[in-house]
Every structure is written in structure tokens, then in C-alpha cells.
Amino acid sequence: MSTDGRTALRNVRVFDGKRLGEPRTVVIDGALIGDDPAGAEEIDAAGAALLPGLIDAHVHLHDPGNLAALATWGVTTGLDMACWPAERVASLREAGGAADFRTAGLPAIGPGGHHARMPGMPPEAVILTAADARRHVEARAAEGVDYIKGVAEAPGEGGPPADALRALVEAAREYGLKTIVHAATPGAYTMAVESGAEFVTHTPIAGGVRAHDVAAMRSAGQRSIPTITMMEALLTAFMTSGPPSGRADLLGEVLGDVGRLHRAGVEILAGTDANAEPSGPLPVPHGESLHHEFELMARAGMTPVEILRSATVLPARAFGLVDRGAVRPGMRADLLLVNGDPTRDITATRDIRAVWCAGHPVTPAARREP
């Protein structure tokens, strides 16, 4: 046994963002990846694949148990897209031994639409003017949020006016923050793209992503977090009448839109909209859902390597998480050890052998007692 808390993982094939390498040794030294195996406790991985811990780029977190659930599935960072009040945010930031937490805090919404009717949504979330948007960003920045979240609705559907949404993005940049805009309909999607936000999340179910929005996103370097899992869940829940083929056709349109965005060169980040909130649109399980998202992304035409990048190096780079997303000395020891070769078969990410969050070992979901 190591006397200093170090662990040497021998015979691991490391995913370097492009491929799996030849078997080698990776050292976990406290919360970081080290480079000296001398005296460390040894674990023979027998050629298993070692990935950077996964990043879910769209979750909703209610309590530390959600972070623990993420970790059991190898999701070591959860990017929360709406969390309040401050006491809840603090409890999640202080949680140890589980997935790392980042948040937008309170989202910016309009006076109508689904979000305005959510139980417990504070009136201060509503923005109607550019001045409102600037005040919202100032308040969130004072709270220490990691980025800003806005909710777009098609014109006339109760969301923030277009000028307020643009002001939100501009104000966020003045504070060094990036903005994610929710857009679940074609009109809302256009508004989100035209706001200049760095990220557009969701994929319209009916009507799809318009060609000019695809081109604009590519030109501006905007990223998509399509949350196909949530769109599939919505179709399943609300299309209870009619033939199953109708749901399949609409899901096929969503997958087609994600494929078009990807082929056009728009960067796709893996996110699920995982939540356990009673007031949420639909419950989506934390952790397991990201592996399902991977499978849907494959159906949209992305390769296993592209999918792995969408949940490791790409979100780390996009959100400025410079200490993760890769397996190399000095990086945070967020690690996922799996059997098989996920660069060839993305479903191999489900066959989890071990997980570490900042060097802390986590028992995988599949190995927990029922």
C-alpha cells in the first residue's frame, strides 16, 4: 500500500483526444495526475481504456446526491444551467468526493413561457429591457456564477425581447462570462443565435434548425449543446396519441439537425438536461443519461472519437476548465476507466471499472449494491 495516497494505474491505454495509446502507467497523486510511480499503490488495469472524467454540459442539480449520481457513471463535472437560491448553490459547491459543480445561478427569462410558470421562480429572473439584463448579469457575477444562462422564446411567446437578450450576452462578456441560451423552437433558436451567445442549448423538435442559423453559428463560432436525450423524453411523454412512427420521425428530424450542425462545422458538446426536479419538464437521470446521449449522437452521425471529445476536451476548452479534459501530469485527477475500446464502440463507456473525482475513488453505479 502507498503511504502517501498515491496510486499507479499500470497497463492503461490512455485516450489522448484522438486515439487510445499503448499501455502505460498513470499516477494519481492526491487530487492531481502525477508522474512518479515510486512507492505508489499499484493497480493493474490489464489494458483497460483510461478516459478523462466526462463533462455533462447541461444538467440541473438539486442536492449533493445528484453530484454523487453523476460520479457513479464517470461524469466528473456537471455544468448546471439554473440553480438557486444561494444556499443550494453553496451546498453543491462544498460537496466533496463527487462530481465538480459549476453553475449559471438564476437564469434570465421573460414574463411568459414555461420558465415563468415554474414554482419558485423569483421575479428578479425576468428581464424586459437592456437595463434589466445588465442588472441581472451584475447580480449573478456578484454571486460568483461561472457563466450566464438566458431563455429565448419565439417572438410573442413570452421570452425576453431580442434586444434584452443581446444586452445579456454583451453584459456577460464585460464581466468575463460566457452565455448559454435555451432555445427549444425554431423561432427561439434564431433569436438565440442572433443574440451572439457562445452556446445554444436544445434542438427544436418541430420545425428544426433553420439553414441560416446553422450557417450563422458556424461563422460566429457558436457551439451547440443539443440535449437529444431531453428532446427524446419530451416526444415520448407528450406524443401519447398517434402511431409510434410519428415520434420516431420527429426524433429523426432532431438527429438530422444535430448531424447537419456537426457536418457544417458547428462544435457539438454533450449535454443531457439531466434533472430530478418536480417542476422540471421531465426527469432525466443524472449520469446514465450521458451515455444514452452518446448513443443518440452516434445515430446523428458522429464518430466515437468525436463523441468522446464532446464530453472531455471540447467542453473543458469551451468553458475555460483548464485543469481537466485530458490525462496528463498536473491535471485534475478526474478519470474514468472502462473495459473495451470506446474509440470504436461508444457503448463501451457504460462498462465502467473505476472512477476518480479529483483523485477520490468512486464506486461505479454498476458495481453498487442494489
pLDDT at residue 2, as a whole number: 46
Q: Three-state secondary structure along the chain? A: CCCCCEEEEEEEEEECCCCECCCEEEEEECCEEECCCCCCEEEECCCCEEEECEEEEEECCCCHHHHHHHHHCCEEEEEECCCCCHHHHHHHHHCCCCCEEEECCCCEECCCHHHHCCCCCCHHHECCCHHHHHHHHHHHHHHCCCCEEEECCCCCCCCCCHHHHHHHHHHHHHCCCCEEEECCCHHHHHHHHHHCCCEEECCCCCCCCCHHHHHHHHHHCCEEECCHHHHHHHHHHHCCCCCHHHHHHHHHHHHHHHHHHHHHCCCECCCCCEECCCCCCCCECCCHHHHHHHHHHHHCCCCHHHHHHHCCHHHHHHCCCCCCCCCCCCCECCEEEECCCCCCCHHHHHCEEEEEECCEEECCHHHCCC
Domains of the chain: 52-103+202-318 (3.20.20)
Q: What local confidence, expressed as pLDDT, does residue 245 receive?
A: 60
293-294-300 Cα angle (round to 5): 90
CB–CB of 358/73 below 8 Å? no
- List per-residue pLDDT tens for the chain, 370 residues long: 344 689 999 999 999 999 999 999 999 999 999 999 999 999 999 999 999 999 999 999 999 999 999 999 999 999 999 999 999 999 999 998 999 999 999 999 999 988 888 888 999 999 999 999 999 999 999 999 999 999 999 999 999 999 999 999 999 999 999 999 999 999 999 999 999 999 999 999 988 999 999 999 999 999 999 999 999 999 988 766 566 666 678 999 999 999 999 999 999 999 999 999 776 668 999 999 999 999 999 999 999 999 999 999 999 999 999 999 999 999 999 999 999 999 999 999 999 999 999 999 999 997 644 3
The dihedral sign for the CA sequence 220, 221, 226, 227: negative
Give the C-alpha separation, 342 to 348, whole Å.
Answer: 5
Predicted local confidence at residue 3, as pLDDT: 40
- Largest interatomic CA distance in the chain: 66
